[in-house]
Each structure stands twice: as C-alpha cells, then as structure tokens.
Amino acid sequence: MIKVGIVGGTGYTGVELLRILADHPQADVRCITSRSEAGVRVADMYPNLRGHYELAFSEPDNRELAACDLVFFATPHGVAMEAVPELLAAGTRVVDLSADFRIRDLDVWARWYGMPHTSPEWAEKAVYGLPEVAREQVREARLVANPGCYPTAVQLGFLPLLENDLVDTSRLIADAKSGASGGGRQGKIPMLHGEVGESFKAYGASGHRHLPEIRQGLTDAAGSAVGVTFVPHLIPMVRGIEATLYAQLNNPSDFDRLQALFEERFRDEPFVDVMPFGSHPETRSVRGANLCRMALHRQEDSNMVIVSSVIDNLVKGAAGQAVQNMNIMFGLDERMGMASPALLP
C-alpha cells in the first residue's frame, strides 16, 4: 500500500483527491491537513465521504507527512515551495497540484505570482506531469508539478498539430470556458451563485496566470517559440472546461489526414478519447472522470483547424491527473482507482 498524505484538504481539489483515493486499492490516506479546520472530521465537512474516512483534519506536521510514501499538495501558490524540500530530503515523493513548480523560468513565475520563488533547486528538478508527454520522466520523478486545468485541455488538443509541424505556430488561439469550481472553494462575491448564474463573461483577457504555463508546454511540443492567445471565460455551471482551439494549417491538403493523426497519437492513452470528426464533446460527458475528450472540425474549405477539447477541471484538470501521476510513479496501472465512467446526467 502507498501511504498517502494530503496538504490542504479543504478545497475542491482536496475533497476530489479524497473521493478518488477512497476506492483506490493501493492507496492508504494517513493524514490530511488544514490549519483552519484542524480537529474537524473529514466526513463532517464532506458528507459524501461518510463511511469512507474516519480521519480528521490536522495541523501540518512534517514529521507525520515525511512518514508517507507520497504527499499531495492541494494548496494555494507559495505554500508547497516552502514545505516540499524537507519532505523530499526525507525520501517522500510529492505531487504538487499548485502552480509552484510548473514554470521553469522563475523570473516569469515571480512576475505572474507576485513573489520570489524560494526553492529554485527543486523547480529545476521538478517534472511537469502531463502523462501523455512526460510519462517516462514522471515514472522516475521525486517531485511532479501537476498541470493546471486550462493548460491540460489546451495542450492535449494542440499536441498532434505541433509535434508534426502542421500549423502556423505564431497564431495559436485558445478560447476556453470553465465552471465556477475552477475559482476554488472560497467566499468570493464574483463566484456567488447570484453573480455567476444567468451570466457569461471573459476574464483575464489581458493576461492570465495559466498563459505562461500553456506557452511553455506548447513551445516544448513545437520545438520552438509559439505565439498563443489564451482567453478564459466563466460559465454558470459547477465543473467542467471546454477549450475551443484554432490553428492555421501550413498546408491545407494535410487536413485529410488529421483525424487519423489524432487517433494514432492518442491510441494508447487511457484518458484521451478522440471522437469522430465533426463531433461536439460535452463537459457533462467527462464529469467526474479523468478523461479528455476532443474532436476536430473544419468550416467549408478553410485552412483553419478547430479542435474542441473537454475535461472535468477537478479531475483530469487536477485531482484525477494527480492520482494518474501517482500511479505512474509507483509502477501501477494508470487507470487504477479511476475506472468508473463519467456521471450522466
């Protein structure tokens, strides 16, 4: 059994980790921390977990966490980079669901997150954990930076186009939408139901923190610098992301082979589903599942490729992908603990 600790268990990604790990046959959650809710039973805060956990939230204790085989950090940015080095020195492996280790250029990281990075040595060693790209590196990693939700949907949809040098990499567009849970479990007025319901808006259009992460991943896939426009939107639902991606083909005649190219690229990926050409993936078709569904489109004789990519922002965009990375790190079947289909309706 893998002895698991979770730091920051009271947010949506924390409870999603608990939900997934409750049915994982090789995971034993030993501790879950929260400074604000220390002493509160997990099942009292999250009634869906009644009968699955007897744990109570506890104050973070690095000695207790260091006794675990792996620790998930489901914390705001700036927390993991302070605590992770001590755990790694003790031999504990870490999957960080925050943004602390995702961006390699720490000057860029500091500019977007408003603070200096305090663990540059581990930022350099961290593996960016998009399994469909870095599976072998994840297998040997001590520290995995779990990708963000928007970056997961965007990168997976663009990957086959960039890896095969098929599109103009200076003009990539990602028009993405997320449910309100992407903003976290906090009492923010703009996220109240009365503010979100019956409304739809863009945000971060002048620049969003996920932009440098997306740009980094797409640059890696293309092998050279890319120009990407990323605009996120808030829609009145709880969970789910849809990213509509646009790229201009260098050679319009390549369009006829794109469907086969996408199917071949993801044929052996257990958590990517390439739908038939012209399909419209729905967020409800991946709700609760660690799955990215995507489909290709073309309008008339345009040389613009359109890719629709959907994920559950809390699962493939956060906790599910983190458990997928844990499975890889410990030599388990990637699907372990996540074999159930999505929830519908």
Q: How many CB atoms lie within 10 A of CB 268?
A: 8
On whether the CB atoms of residues 95 and 20 are closer than 8 A, the answer is: no
Task: Characterize the bridge pairing of strands 70-73 and 304-311.
Answer: unpaired
Q: Which of 31, 68, 149, 292 is catalytic?
A: 149
Task: Characterize the bridge pairing of strands 292-297 and 304-311.
Answer: antiparallel
Token readout for 183 is 């903003």
Token readout for 16 is 């999603």
* b/e sequence 132-149, b meaning 16+ C-beta within 10 Å: bbbeeebeebbbbbbbbb
Token readout for 71 is 């620790």
Asked whether the CA dihedral 183, 185, 186, 189 is positive or negative, the reply is positive
183 CB burial (10 A radius; 0-12, 13-18, 19+): middle
On whether the CB atoms of residues 300 and 322 are closer than 8 A, the answer is: no
> What is the four-CA torsion angle of 14, 20, 23, 29, rounded to 10 degrees?
-30
**Could you tell me which residues come within 8 angstroms of residue 6 by beta carbon, excluding any fewer than 6 positions away?**
14, 17, 18, 29, 31, 32, 33, 71, 72, 74
- 149 part of the active site: yes
Residue 18: DSSP 8-state: H
Active site members: 149
